[in-house]
Structure 1
Amino acid sequence: MRQSYLEAYKGGEGELVEKKSRFIATVRPVKSEAEAAAFIEEMRKKYWNASHNCTAFCVGRNNELTRCSDDGEPGGTAGRPMLDVLLGEGIHNVCVVVTRYFGGTLLGTGGLVRAYSGAVKEGLKNSIVLDKRPGREAAVTCDYNGLGKLQYIAGQMKLPVLDIQYTDIVAARLMLPEADVDAFVKKVTEATNGKAVIELLGTPYYADNDGELLIFEE
C-alpha cells in the first residue's frame, strides 16, 4: 500500500534577527540534486555579499538523497540543524538556503543552531506544503435512480467529484483514497442493487490546496 507524504509545492521566504545578525531563509521545491544545486547557486549569486549561505535539501519520497552545508560556519551549527528541521517536519523534495548577514556579535554554537533552525521554520511557514495522498480515480455510470445514492455516498465519504455528465444515464468521475476503494465499491454496489457500473482508472496522488483539488500523476 502506498503512503501519504508531505511535499513542498510552493516556496517561501522567512527572516529572523539574532543579535543584529540577519538570517534569511529561502525555500524552494526541488525534484533532483541538479535542481537543488541550481537553486543554491542562484541564491549565492543573489546574496553574493552575505557572510554565509548555508544549505540543506531532501530529495525523494523516502529521502533517498539528503545534503547539507555549513558554508564556513562552525561544523554542525548550520547545515545539519537545517536538515534536521526538514527531516523532523517530514517534508520531501525541498531545498532551503539560509543567508546570514553577520551583525558583529558572535552567537556561539547553541545560538547558531537555534538561529539557523528557526530561520528554516520561518521559511516553511511562508511556503505551501502539500499532504499528497495515494488515490484511485473511479468512473461510475448509473441511472437517475442511483444518482442520489451515489451523491449521498460521496458526501458521506467526503470524496471529491471530478466531473459529472447527465445524458440518458449519469456518468461521474470521483477521486477515492486508495485505502477506501473496496468500501466505496461495496457501498455503491449495495445501494444500487448492482446496477451501477464502476470502473477503476488511474492511480494518482492528490492533495487539497486550500480547497483546490490537485492531482499528480506519478
Structure 2
Amino acid sequence: MTTVKGDAESALTVKKSRFLGFACRAETERQALDALETRRKRFFDASHHCYAYMLDNGVSRFSDDGEPSGTAGRPILEAITKSGLTDIIVVCTRYFGGTLLGAGGLARAYFQCAWDTLMAARKIELVPSLTYRLTLPYDLWARALNALKKAGCIIEDAVYSENITAKICVSEGSAENALRQLKEVTMGQAVPEFIGTKLAEISRDSEGH
C-alpha cells in the first residue's frame, strides 16, 4: 500500500475564496476524525471544513460540511482515489470570498485543492515485511550492517552492550537474499531470530537485488 508520511498542506484562491488543503496519514476512522477536529479548531472562523478519507481496509467517508451536496466531499474523495493513496484524510478548509462559484466551480476548486495537497505530500510504500532479532559480536557488526543495508534491510533498536543486539526488518521479497548475505559475511555466526511480520516502509530499489 502507498500512503503519506507526515503532513502536507496547500493553498488555492478562486474568485477571492481561499481554500486551504491538509493531508495526513490516518490508519483508523478515529485518527481521521481527530485530524479533522484539529483543523476545525485551528481554523475556527472558516466557512467550511470539507473532507474525505480512505482507509486501506476499504472504508471511506466524505462530507460537504454545508456546501451544496456533491460539490466538496466527493471531489476530494475522487482526488484521493486518483492518487492511489490509502490510510489518508484530506481536509479542504474554505474561507468564502463573497462570490458564488456555482456547483461546477465548487467541485473543481475542491478537487484541485485536494489534488494539490496530495501532490505536495511525501509518499511512502508500506510492504509486507519480516522482522528478526540479531545478536552479534562487535568485530562482525560492521560487515553485517553493510550487507544488510545493501539487501534493503532497516535496522531498528540497536542495543550496544557485551554484544550488539538489533531488530532487522526486510521485505518478504528480499528476505531470502538478505539472510544469505548475512550468513556469508559472518561465516555462519549470525543466527537471526524470527519475531513476526508487519507492514514496513522499505526501499523498493533494493527489491530483488
TM-score range, shorter chain: 0.7 to 0.9
**In 2, are the aligned partners of 1:56 and 1:96 still within 8 Å (CA)?**
yes
Length, aligned pairs only: 202
The DSSP-based 3-state class of the residue aligned with 1:114 is helix
Residue 13 of structure 1 aligns with which residue? 9
Match for residue 130 of structure 2? 136
Q: Per-residue deviation at 1:174?
A: 2.4
Q: Residue 136 of structure 1 contacts residue 177 of structure 1 at CA under 8 Å; is this kept in 2?
A: yes
In the other structure, the counterpart of 2:98 is 104
Cα RMSD of the aligned pairs, angstroms, is 3.4
Which residue identity lines up with residue 64 of structure 2 in the other structure? D
Give the distance between the partners of 1:12 and 1:143, measured in 2 at CA.
43
Aligned to 2:52: 56
Give runs of aligned pairs for residues 1-218 of structure 1, distance below 5 A: 5-40=1-36, 43-44=39-40, 47=43, 49-59=45-55, 61-63=56-58, 65-124=59-118, 129-141=123-135, 147=141, 149-162=143-156, 163=158, 165=160, 167=162, 171=165, 173-207=167-201
SS at 2:107 equivalent: helix
Offset, 1:84: 1.2
CA, structure 1 residues 115+132, in 2 after alignment: closer, same or farther (shift >3 Å)?
same
* TM superposition shift of 1:83: 0.6
Q: Secondary structure at the match of 1:121?
A: helix
How far does residue 42 in structure 1 lie from its aligned partner after superposition?
5.3
Q: Which amino acid aligns with 1:93?
A: D
How many angstroms apart in 2 are the aligned matches of 1:172 and 1:50? 48
Between 42-51 and 111-120, the greater mean CA deviation after superposition? 42-51
What residue ranges of structure 2 are gaps of 5+ in the alignment?
A: 203-209
Output one character per residue of 1:89-129: Cα deviation in whole Å (capped at 9) or x when no partner.
23333222222222233334442222111212343456555
Greater CA deviation, 176-185 or 116-125? 116-125
**Which AA in structure 2 matches 1:62?**
N
C-alpha contact (below 8 Å) 1:11/1:126 kept by paired residues: no
Q: Is the Cα contact below 8 Å between 1:143 and 1:196 reproduced in 2?
A: no
The alignment's TM-score, normalised by the length of structure 1, stands at 0.71
Percentage identity across paired residues of the two chains = 32
Is this contact kept in 1: 2:64–2:72, CA < 8 A? Answer: yes
Structure 2 residue matching 1:204: 3-state secondary structure: strand
How big is the shift at 1:181? 1.3
CA, structure 1 residues 196+113, in 2 after alignment: closer, same or farther (shift >3 Å)? same
Of residues 124-133 and 152-161 in structure 1, the stretch that sits farther from structure 2 once superposed is 124-133
